[in-house]
Chain A
Amino acid sequence: MTSPTEIEGAEASSVLDKESEPQGDAQEPKKLAGRSPGQLMWQRFKRDRTGVVSACVVIFFFVVSALAPLIAKVYGKDPYTLYAQEPDFPFLLDDFAMPTGSFGGMSGEFWFGVEPKLGRDVFTMLLYGVRTSLYMAVVVTTLCVLTGVLIGLVMGYFGGRVDYWLGRVTDFFLAFPQQLFFIAFMPVVTAMFVSPQDETPTYLRAVAITLVMWFLGWMGLARLVRSSVLSLADREFVEAAKVSGASPWRIVRKEILPNIVTPILVQATYILPGTILSIAFLSYIGVGFVEPTPDWGRMFAIGSEVYEQDPMFMFFPGVALVVFVLAFNLLGDSVRDAFDPKTGR
C-alpha cells in the first residue's frame, strides 16, 4: 500500500533524526529507511510531555476502574452499605444526618468522607461510579465509531444516490435537539424492555442508555469518514487497485481504511469524554442511572442537594471529572499533533 502519510513520514523522519541523534545518523544510515508512520507518530508523541502525562492520567483512570472491586476489597468497604447504620461506626452522622467529622467526615477509615443522609462511603462510590461511566462510555463510543465508519464508508465510496439519501438521514438526526431527545426517549426505550409497573433492572437501564446515545452519536464521525473517503477515492493508488481488479471490499479494507484510521482515532478520543459527560448529565437530571447503582453523574445530583451544608461531598467527584476530561482533551490534541505536526494549536 502506498499511502500519502508514508511519503510525508519519510521526509519527517530524516529531519527528526538530524535533530535528535546526529552521530547515529552518520554511523547507521540504514536506520532512516525503516520506519512506519506508526513508529514516527509514537516518537513524536513520546517527546510531547503534556501528551505523555495526560496519557498516564487516562490510563490511571482506566486501571483504577478496572481494578475497582480489588481496591474496594483491600480498602474494606463497598458503595452500597449504609455505614451510618452499622454498629461499628456509631457517630458517623450527626442529628441533621450530616457527617460528623470535618471535611465531610474524612478520616483514615473513610478516605473521601461519608455521604450525608445515607452514610455511604464516598471513596468506593466514586470508584464504582467512575467504573460504571467508563465502561458505558467505552461501549457507546465503540458502537458509535463502528456505525459512523460504516455509514461514512458507504456514503463516500458508493456516492450517488446512496450518498444523497444517507446524507439526508444524517442531517435529519443532526437536527434533533440531542439532550432533549435523550431525556424524552430514556423512559420509552426502557419501557420497550420492561412493563412500566415493574422495577427496571440496572443492566436494562444501561442497555437503554447505550441505545439512546448510540442512536444520536454516529453522525459527526460518519461525515468525517465520508469526506476523507471522498478525498482518497480519486488518488492514484486507489485507482491502481481498481484497475488491477480489486473488489470494492478489498479496496475499502486495504487501501482506504488504513489511511483514515488516525483521524478516526483522534475523533474517538473526543467522543469518549463527551459520552461520559452525557451519561453523567442524564444521571444528574434523574433519567439515567438511579439508586443504588453508583454513578458519577448522580453524585453531583446528591452533592448539589446537600451543597449548602456539606460542600466537601462534591469535591472529589468534581475534581476527578475535571482532571479526567482535561487529560482526555489534552491527549486528543497531542495524538492529533503527533499524527500531523503541521496543524499546530
Chain B
Amino acid sequence: MLQFLIRRLIGAVVIMFLIGAFTFFLFYTIPQDFAELSCGKNCSPENIAVIRENLGLDKPITAQFWEFMRGIVAGRDFTQGHCSAPCLGMSFDSGEFVWDSIMDRFPLTLSLTVGGLVIFLLVGLGAGLLAAWKRGTVADKAVSGASIVLSSFQIYFLGPIVLGIVVYQTGWMENPSYQPFTENPFAWAAGMIIPWAVMATIFTAQYTRMSRSTMIEQLQEEHVRTARAKGMRQRYVFFRYAWRGSLIPIVTILGIDLSALLSGAVVTEFTFDLAGIGRLAVDSSLTKDLPVTMGVMLFGAFFILILNIIVDLTYAYIDPRVRLS
C-alpha cells in the first residue's frame, strides 16, 4: 500500500514537472515583452529595464525556467521581498505572489468542487439504486427519464433559471456568495447551496444513469443470484453483494471525470459571479500574465492528481482484488 502511494506520488511529481515545462516554454513563444506589460501605460525605457531585471526576464529562458522550478521547492527572493517555499513566482500585472493569490481564491473552488461532489454522489447513486431496485416501475421510468433530460442541461443555462426562480422572482434566497467555512459554517453552506445544487444536478444525472445500469448488470451476476437463491434476504444481497460490485465501474468513471469536475467548478464560478481560481485563470490568460497562468495550471493539475490518488485508494478499499495484488 505504502509502496503504491509512493510510486503514485513520484509519478505525480514527474507529470507536474512536465506540465510546468510544457506550459513555460510554450508561453515563451509569444512575441511579447512581459516587462512592458507589467509596466503599464506611460512607461520609460529605464523603468522597463529595471522591471526586466526585477522579474528576472533578462536571463535566458532555460535559466528562468530553472529559477521558477527551484522557487517551487526552495523559495525565491524578489526585490519586493522573500517568496517562501511553494513559490510560483510573482504576477507581472499586480506584483502579488502567485501562491498567495491562488490561496486567496482556492477555498471557494474547493468548496464548490467538494460540496458538488458529495451532493451528486449521494443523490446520483441513491437515485440510481432506487431506479434499479424498482426496475420497470413508474419510479424507475421517472428517474431514468429525468436523468437523461437533465444531463443535457448546461450549468450556464440552468444556473440563471434557478437564480431567476429562487432569488429574483420569489426572493427565497440570497444571491450566492462565499463566506469562509471557518468563520461561519452555516453562512458558508447557505451561500453555496445554489451553486452546489446546479452543479450537482448536471453530474447527478450522469451518475444516476450509470449506477442504475451497473446495478442492473450486477444483479444478474451469478454470485448475486446464488446468494439470493440460497435464501439470503433481498435487501442484504442488494447492498452487500450487488452494490459493492457496481461501485467499481462508478469509481473508475469518477476518476476520469475529476478534471470535468474542476471545469464544472470554473463554469459555476462564472455563472454565479464568484471569484475562484477559474476567474483567476481567465483574467491572467487575457492579460497574458504568465506566472499566474502557470501557477493556476500547475495547481489545477496538482489538485486533480491528488484527487486521482484518493480515488485509487478508494478503489483498493472497495475491490479486494486490487488490495491483494
Please classify how large the interface on chain B is, using the bins under 10, 10 to 19, 20 to 34, 35 or more: 35 or more
Q: Which of A170-222 contact B (CB under 8 A)?
A: 171-172, 175-181, 183-188, 191-192, 195-196
CB <8 Å contact, B15 and A345: no
CB <8 Å contact, B285 and A178: no
Chain B positions within 8 Å of A191 at CB level: 30-32, 288
* Nearest-Cβ distance from residue A343 to partner chain B, whole angstroms: 10
Contact of B267 among A184, A281, A311, A329 (CB under 8 A): A281
Chain A positions within 8 Å of B301 at CB level: 175-177
Determine whether A55 belongs to the interface, using a CB cutoff of 8 Å to chain B. Answer: no
| Separation of A191 and B27 alpha carbons in the complex (Å) | 10
CB <8 Å contact, B152 and A188: no
* Nearest-Cβ distance from residue A283 to partner chain B, whole angstroms: 10
Closest residue on chain B to residue A273 by CB atoms:
B152
CB <8 Å contact, B157 and A178: no
Contact of B152 among A177, A303, A307, A322 (CB under 8 A): A322
Q: Which of A309-336 contact B (CB under 8 A)?
A: 311, 314, 318, 321-323, 325-326, 329-330
CB <8 Å contact, A180 and B148: no
Chain A positions within 8 Å of B303 at CB level: 177
Determine whether B179 belongs to the interface, using a CB cutoff of 8 Å to chain A. Answer: no
Contact of A188 among B26, B149, B305 (CB under 8 A): B26
* Nearest-Cβ distance from residue B266 to partner chain A, whole angstroms: 6
Contact of A285 among B15, B29, B266, B297 (CB under 8 A): B266
* Nearest-Cβ distance from residue A313 to partner chain B, whole angstroms: 10
| Separation of A103 and B271 alpha carbons in the complex (Å) | 23
Determine whether A118 belongs to the interface, using a CB cutoff of 8 Å to chain B. Answer: no
Contact of A192 among B23, B30, B161, B270 (CB under 8 A): B30
CB <8 Å contact, A307 and B164: yes
Please classify how large the interface on chain A is, using the bins under 10, 10 to 19, 20 to 34, 35 or more: 35 or more
Closest residue on chain B to residue A304 by CB atoms:
B160
Closest residue on chain A to residue B160 by CB atoms:
A307
Determine whether B248 belongs to the interface, using a CB cutoff of 8 Å to chain A. Answer: no
Determine whether A284 belongs to the interface, using a CB cutoff of 8 Å to chain B. Answer: yes
Chain B positions within 8 Å of A234 at CB level: none
Determine whether A128 belongs to the interface, using a CB cutoff of 8 Å to chain B. Answer: no
* Nearest-Cβ distance from residue A341 to partner chain B, whole angstroms: 15
Determine whether A308 belongs to the interface, using a CB cutoff of 8 Å to chain B. Answer: yes
* Nearest-Cβ distance from residue B218 to partner chain A, whole angstroms: 14
| Separation of A8 and B156 alpha carbons in the complex (Å) | 44
CB <8 Å contact, A180 and B270: no
With A177-B259, A300-B156, A303-B160: A284-B270 Cβ-Cβ less than 8 Å: yes
Contact of B281 among A180, A284, A307, A326 (CB under 8 A): A180
Q: Which of B20-37 contact A (CB under 8 A)?
A: 23, 26-27, 29-32
Determine whether B293 belongs to the interface, using a CB cutoff of 8 Å to chain A. Answer: yes
CB <8 Å contact, A184 and B23: yes
Q: A185-B26, A322-B153 are in contact. List 5 more A-B contacts (CB 8 A).
A: A175-B304, A185-B285, A287-B286, A304-B271, A325-B152
> Top 5 closest A-B pairs, CB basis?
A179-B263, A177-B300, A326-B152, A318-B157, A325-B152
